[in-house]
Amino acid sequence: MGENNIGDDGITIIARALGKSRIRVLFVVFCDITDTGAKALAAGLSVNRSITLLNVWYNPITVEGARLILQSAVNNGICEEVSVNDQYTNNYESDNEVQKMMTILQTRREANKRSP
């Protein structure tokens, strides 16, 4: 779904459907999603039990929005990777909380690779 101008309204509709979805990978890059959409996506991710990879690159989501998404991914126990960067400054790399949650997801992914 990359490079579609779905914005916050579109991602909110998608997020509402995630609770019943079996989708495993969701790419919403260059979709003009802001923190409002990040909040909706975090709510959807918190009830989803199938997404293992979420990519929200190149959206105007601030560090606060990234934290919401990552916290939901960590808490849902299924998601293994969330790719985030902000469209303008890529300042997520300097945020300790974001990095901590990314490490948790990476550890989960590596553990799942070793599992039979």
- Write down the domain spans for the chain: 7-114
pLDDT one-digit tens code per residue, 20-77? 999 999 999 999 999 999 999 999 999 999 999 999 999 999 889 999 999 999 999 9
Among 4-8, 22-26, 64-68, 102-106, the minimum mean pLDDT is found in 102-106
Listed in sequence order, the residues at least 6 apart from 52 whose beta carbon sits closer than 8 Å to its beta carbon are 24, 25, 78, 79, 80, 81
The span from the CA of 113 to the CA of 92, in Å, is 26
The span from the CA of 59 to the CA of 85, in Å, is 8
CA distances from 44 to 14, 69, 82, 88 (A): 8, 9, 14, 25
- H/E segment holding residue 16: helix 7-17
Domain 7-114 CATH (choose: 3.80.10.10, 1.10.287.110, 1.20.1560.10, 2.60.40.10): 3.80.10.10
